[in-house]
Amino acid sequence: MKKQVAGTIMSVDTDGASFLVQQQGSQYSFYNFPVFTGQTPLGSVLSKLREEVGLDVDQLRLFDSVIAELDDEKVALFVFNNLTINDHVRALFAKQGLQFVAGSQLHQLFESVHVNTQPLFEQLSK
């Protein structure tokens, strides 16, 4: 099985924070897919956003990255911000089945993502 990677874009405005997610039925999940051969997990996310979504990734800033457990699999999760979101950008994401959803509507998603807060180097020293 190929290693998976996940990414989201956080947008904060007067209504609060919203996140780029995909919806499957009544459930939301982060945009995730296999890491591209010959690329790093971060490179895979940026390539996917640039080449398949059509996004100008030069606008993005990496806000955070964590190793998260999604569906019992450890996945690199990258959180970006600094994107100007307008109708054009929303349409690009909609073509890929992605949308920005208010954080207040994503309780199920946030509760299902398990993030290890123990520093990686501390784990390696044991």
CATH of the domain at 41: 3.90.79.10
Looking at residue 117, its pLDDT comes to 58
Q: By residue range, what is the domain housing residue 60?
A: 4-124
**What's the total number of domains in the chain?**
1
**pTM of this structure:** 0.87
Q: What percent of the chain has pLDDT over 70?
A: 90
62 Cβ neighbours under 8 A, 6+ residues apart: 42, 78, 79, 80
Residue 88's φ and ψ, nearest 5 degrees, are -65, -45
